[in-house]
Amino acid sequence: MILKVFISIACLAVLTYAQTTNFVDKDSKLVGFAEPQWFKDNIPFVEVPDRQIEEVFYYRFTSHKRHMHYSGAGVGYTVTEFVHKVFWSQKFDTINAAAGHHIYESRWLRNPKYTEDYINFWSREGGAGNQQYSEWIANAAYANFLVTGNKDFILSQQEGLVNNFNGWNDRYEPTLDMYFLSPHDDAMEHSASSEQTDDPYHGGLGYRPSFNSEMYANAIAISKIARLNNDTRTAEEFEERAAKIRKGVLDYLWDDERTFFYHMFRENNTNNELLDTREEIGLFPWRFGVPDPEDPKYARAWEHLFDPQGFNSTYGPTTCEQRSPWFDGNQTAMCCFWNGNSWPYSTGHVINSLAAQIRNYGTTNVVNINTFLEVLHKYAETQFKDGKPYVAECHSPYRKLWVCDSRNGSEHYAHSTYVDNVLGDLLGIIPQADNTFLISPLIPSNGSKYNTTPGMKIYLNGELVGSQPALGEMSITIPPPIVDESYARKKVENYAANLNGFDYPMPDASFTSIHATVWQAVDGRVIYDHIPSNRWTSFDSPNDVDWFSVDFGPGRVKTIDQVTIHVYSDAALGNDVDCPERVTIEVLSASGSWEQAQNQSSTPSVCVPSDILTIHFDPVKTQKVRISFHRNVQENLWAGMTEVEIWAPWPQVDEEGTYEAEDGYLINAAITASDTASGGSYVGQIEADDAIVEFTGVWVEEAKEYDVQVYYSNGVQQEATLNLSINNVKTQVATFPPTINGWGQFDQNTYVVLRIPLLRGNNAIIFKHGDNLVELDKIRVLV
């Protein structure tokens, strides 16, 4: 629910969305942050007496923001794992291994667009049964719904989430009712369960407590979504599938004598023997509710977390128990050993599980609030480097050293949770499907920071609505969810973004420093750091004024009224890039000359380093924008930006339901100007085997089949085809008869009608290379 809520818990911890409570000085928490207003607008604020837990809490919002990647008009935001593209990443530089972690972190942001764009990506554009690594995306999507209360959105995601789930069917073993996977495909290379095979990197195919618990959680989430959708058949199917998976895990992966969940090899293992080594993944099942709460035997597993020969280490938990012959706690290789190092990816899971043990199963001789706090503190303490909060890939269990920490690659690695561990586990905010607010904190019962009465207090929109004299579970009734207007047909999108690094929108500049590129200023990433580097600057330019331009593409004339610059500055580091003295905007006129945009003003009126500067002007139609940076000559400083954005209404069309091909996501296809094309240009040369024309953000209010008109040109007297994918779920072949008009010529009467099933919300209609050649102008969805 998007609410202004303030919670005072035993005078120790505070969470606030409220503008009328003043327990937390927000400015003091954001000292040194780039774009501080964004954090004021989007994040909850906390105070806890453990300085390191609090410092890392705010830092992890900054690291998460670095990875919120604007991926194009109609797509919106995705979340990356690495700050820069890696060769094994998928569409829009995404990797699904930590997508569940990303969603759990993002769900606490006030603006739900970031998370809903990302969930929609995985259920439609980026899912499609593309099972790169194990995932718990359906579980996380439902967890996001519990925070936002956006029922229409989560219901619209059901089909895609089911499709993702079924994409794992070829890894299912029906005789055991479990899924099998290699440690590598569980995103854990060189683990104890692969090191003892002939292939330590890719080997070890088997049944894993991590992956099967995630699939159980996905099945439970889909069943709950189906219940909300009044889809009894699907709900019952996935309830049954979940029950079978859970039984398989409990029957086959638990060892009564060694009191733990283990990996079980699939091959050459006729007796279903379990691994000889405990791995940290054996603690994952609790966060998803897999162990039987009526059977106390499972609680003994937690003894190994606190055992110094088990997983307990200075910067642990370790990923492999230390008594194992496969354990190596002295790895110095940059990648990718899961047989000893401390990986935040797993620690986030374990803290979720530890909190679930206390709340849902009960305390034990080793598990209680104090030991929970010890583990959380150790996790926070691990996330420092050179005295400042920091997270990379993996950490030494014994030394204050980030082991997997490649320069310009691993910084601020987005592969784990922490914010969710503080808000959901420590403070105990447990989102509900109805209009209630439930909290069950895991904190000690003493403390006097705020000098108020003991116990718990909850403020809703500035008013005290609930209190109790002692710590413990507490629930209040809250208003219904506020409708999310950001996820709707009418959008404002960024026309400058280009994720491909080639073609259009095309950046250019009068001068570019050898330490920067023009493409990094339009790649959808906002990263103000010196390292990792992601910027354009004019450093060392001989000019007093340098320009940076964005060309939308041949014939792509758009109506715009602002340009947003994310100002890069390294002057505080003693370097030479800082705010320009002045910024002006020019637009390309219809006659081909550059003209000053009219009535320019800026917000703020004076440039602030490492922050947003927006230049406003009268609405104007143009194909090309030029930004002039008047540098600070007196102090010999040059200009720079980490990103430029041009936000404007999208799509810009005359008829409702119309989408231009040139506005889509293109791979190996060319935009060409044409006076007869509806938007001034079209997309052709769709001839490479991997050529794609993707109509993004195709919005409908209701899930059903629609007639879709596809306007095209086929100048050869032969029938042509394109392969069509709808949301990466449904596929069909689109046939295009020859047209009377020649190539590059279009009219309003030349189209084919395709019957296409669409889902509520944003859809991706993807045309891929087929037989012969077709040129695409636009589509129109008939509602």
Residue 705 is part of which domain span?
658-782
Which is nearest to 645 in space by CA: 460, 427, 498, 477? 498
Task: Give the list of residues 6+ apart from residue 571 with CB closer than 8 angstroms, or none.
Answer: 577, 578, 609, 637
Residue count of the chain:
783
pLDDT on residue 4: 41
Strand, coil or helix: 452: coil
Digit-coded pLDDT (tens) for 738-782:
998 889 999 999 999 999 999 999 999 999 999 999 999 999 999
Same domain, yes or no, for 720 and 630?
A: no
- End position of a domain, from candidates 650, 667, 682: 650
Instruction: Give the pairing of strands 45-47 and 13-16.
Output: antiparallel
Digit-coded pLDDT (tens) for 174-216:
999 999 999 999 999 999 999 999 999 999 999 999 999 999 9
Tell me how many degrees the CA angle 676-680-684 measures, rounded to the nearest 5. Answer: 80
pLDDT on residue 105: 99
528 falls within a domain: yes
- End position of a domain, from candidates 650, 685, 712: 650
Which is nearest to 59 in space by CA: 422, 548, 520, 556? 422
Digit-coded pLDDT (tens) for 429-451:
999 999 999 999 999 877 555 55
Structure-token match 């950490």, residue found: 395
Same domain, yes or no, for 613 and 669?
A: no
2 falls within a domain: no
pTM of the full structure: 0.95
Q: pLDDT > 90: what percent of the chain?
A: 88
Concatenated DSSP letters of 557-593: -EEEEEEEEEE---GGGT-SB---SEEEEEEE-TTS-
Same domain, yes or no, for 598 and 685?
A: no
Same domain, yes or no, for 645 and 700?
A: no
Which is nearest to 693 in space by CA: 780, 764, 771, 772? 764
Same domain, yes or no, for 621 and 684?
A: no
Confidence of residue 19 (pLDDT cuts 50, 70, 90): very low
pLDDT on residue 378: 98
pLDDT at 83 over 60: yes
Same domain, yes or no, for 527 and 580?
A: yes
435 falls within a domain: no
Same domain, yes or no, for 752 and 624?
A: no
31 falls within a domain: no
Structure-token match 């609680």, residue found: 299
Same domain, yes or no, for 521 and 604?
A: yes
pLDDT on residue 447: 59
Same domain, yes or no, for 549 and 621?
A: yes
Confidence of residue 484 (pLDDT cuts 50, 70, 90): low
Domain count, the chain: 2
Same domain, yes or no, for 754 and 697?
A: yes
- End position of a domain, from candidates 606, 628, 650: 650
137 falls within a domain: no
Same domain, yes or no, for 766 and 697?
A: yes
Average pLDDT over residues 510-524: 98
Digit-coded pLDDT (tens) for 532-558:
999 999 999 999 999 999 999 999 999
496 falls within a domain: yes
What is the CATH number for 693?
2.60.120.260
Q: Give 711 or 481, the one with higher predicted confidence.
A: 711
483 falls within a domain: no
Same domain, yes or no, for 665 and 584?
A: no
pLDDT at 18 over 60: no
pLDDT at 16 over 60: no
578 falls within a domain: yes
H helix runs in 75-208, sequence order: 99-106, 113-120, 137-148, 151-156, 158-166, 192-195
